Amino acid sequence: MEKVLDSLPDRLNQIDSVATQLNETAEVQNRTVNGIDVIIKDLTAILNHNFSTAKDIRSDFLEIFNRAKESLLYMSELHNDIKSIQDIIYQINLLSLNSSIEAVKIGDAGKPFSSISSEIRGLNDKAKSIIDRLDSKEINGKGVDENSKYVTESLLPKLNDSAKKIEELLNDKSKPLLELKQIADLNSILDDSIAKEQELSVELRNVTESFSDIKREPIKSEPKKESSEPEKKRAFKRDIVRKENSNNSISRKLVEF
Amino acid sequence: MREYLTFRVNSSSELFGVELTSIIEILKYVRVTPLKIGRGSIVAVTNFNGEAVPIFDFALDSRFIEESKLSDRSSLILLKSDDNRLFALLVDEVQAIERDREKLIVINRDRFTI
């Protein structure tokens, strides 16, 4: 009992040190948890920002897609109109040639008629050269027809694919946010366990303090019963040994001190 | 001075011509009846004012077998033979009226036998 009491201060010191370490660890963990919390908040904000940017890009894509479609439609209409005008020009040419043939058949009387036909052909040729120039207009080395084909077969499907990818990205929005929520939940569990650690360390301190109080209080010994003679002798010897040990312990502590 | 109607065939660089006085009319290519067993270069017949008119393919190719090869510029030059019979020449594109004989290859109507 004496030995246990003697070692008690050391043990208490050890427990106190463990409690302090526990507390320090809990504080470090607490700081880490707070840091993770801030990171989660930042990540959530970044993700939300990215999703909002992706939404903007999708809307831009849709606008480009619709504009490209409209342009294509316009180009196609323009191309068809050019073809129609070319066809009309060709028919006017045939008409003027036929009128020249008729004028030749008439002979001298048809000469004025022939010259009118010739004038019509001249005007028709000018119109033809303008419309042919328009038809052969090139963008990036490609004609209207080729460009329309490129836009229809290559550009529009590419734009469509990209818009779909962005759409998929936006539909997956819940996934990373859900994972972040899971991290946040784990963090909160960790937070709870830190609180418990802190509580435990406080409890440990309380325990050590209560032990210290116990040590400071004098040990109340029960009144000794009358013992038989041999027992009395044995008790007397034990007392002597204890006193000697106690003296030794005090002197050792004094020396240590 | 003689005048010639010029035309091209098979997108060749050569310019052909037929004398204006021998031409009845120039027709825009219309639907014709192809002849599966043509006689010489007669490839089809068409109806002109109720008369069946044989069509000579000037290029002597088989464009009528695959009509898609015909362009919207394909034309028929309606001519009258020496014996007053109508026939038509299928050409790729009629061009203009030319007076200078040197600039073209002149085609005589008696070259085609009906």
**Among B62, B22, B23, B30, residue whose Cα is nearest residue B43:** B62
DSSP sequence for chain B: ---EEEEESTT-S--EEEEGGGEEEEEE----EE-SS-STTEEEEEEETTEEEEEEETT-S-TTTSGGGS-TT-EEEEEE-TTS-EEEEEESEEEEEE--GGGSEEE-GGGS--
- What confidence score (pLDDT) does residue B66 get? 40
Match 């229809």 to its residue by tokens.
A152
Give the span between the Cα atoms of B47 and A178, in whole angstroms: 79
| Cα gap B5→B101, rounded to integer Å | 11
Residue-wise pLDDT tens digits, B84-111? 889 998 888 888 898 888 888 888 777 7
pLDDT value at residue B62: 39
Whether residue A94 and residue B23 make contact (CB cut-off 8 A), yes or no, is: no
**pLDDT tens track, chain A, 257 positions:** 677 777 777 888 888 888 888 888 888 888 888 888 898 889 888 888 888 888 888 888 888 888 888 888 888 888 889 989 998 999 999 999 999 999 988 888 888 888 899 899 999 999 999 998 888 776 666 666 777 777 778 888 888 888 788 878 777 777 777 888 888 888 888 888 888 888 888 888 888 787 776 655 555 555 555 555 566 666 666 666 665 555 555 445 544 53
pLDDT for res B6: 92
Q: What is the ipTM of this complex?
A: 0.83
Report the gap between the CA of B38 and the closest CA in chain A (Å).
28
Residues of A in contact with B25 (CB under 8 A): 98, 101
Annotated domain spans of chain A: 2-220, 227-257
Positive or negative: CA dihedral B18, B23, B26, B32 = negative
Q: Distance between CA atoms of A16 and A212, rounded to whole angstroms?
A: 11
What sign does the dihedral A183-A185-A189-A191 (CA atoms) show? positive
| CATH for the stretch A2-220 | 1.10.287.950
Domain ranges of chain B: 4-111
Torsion angle (degrees, nearest 10) of CA A189, A194, A199, A204: 130
Confidence bin at B60 (pLDDT 50/70/90): low
- Selecting from B72, B94, B97 the residue whose C-beta is nearest the C-beta of A87 gives B72
Tell me the shortest Cα–Cα distance from B78 to chain A, in angstroms.
11
Residue A121 has a CB neighbour count (10 Å cut-off) of 19
Provide, as residue numbers in chain A, all residues whose Cβ is less than 8 Å from the Cβ of B94. Answer: 93-94, 97
Give the whole-angstrom CA distance, residue B107 versus residue B56. Answer: 13
B61 pLDDT more than 60: no
- pLDDT given for residue A120 in this prediction: 92
The helix/strand/coil state of A142 is strand
Please tell me which residue of chain A has the smallest CA distance to B76: A94
Architecture of domain B4-111: Beta Barrel (2.40)
CB atoms within 10 A of CB A139: 11
Give how far A98 is from chain B: nearest CA, Å: 6
pLDDT score, position B68: 37
Which residues on B lie below 8 Å from A121 (Cβ)?
96-97
Q: What is the pLDDT of residue A133?
A: 87
Q: In this structure, are residues B40 and B57 in contact, taking their beta carbons and an 8 Å threshold? A: no
Q: Do A100 and B23 touch (CB under 8 A)?
A: no
Q: What is the pLDDT of residue B40?
A: 62
Question: Using CA atoms, how far apart are residues B108 and A140, in angstroms rounded to an integer?
Answer: 47
pLDDT 10s digits, B15-49:
889 999 889 999 988 777 877 765 567 878 888 88
* Burial of A236: CB neighbours in 10 Å, binned 0-12, 13-18, 19+: exposed
Residue numbers in B near A105 (CB within 8 A): 21
Of B20, B75, B78, which to mutate for an interface test with A (greatest number of A Cβ within 10 Å)? B20
Burial class (CB in 10 A: 0-12, 13-18, 19+), A101: buried
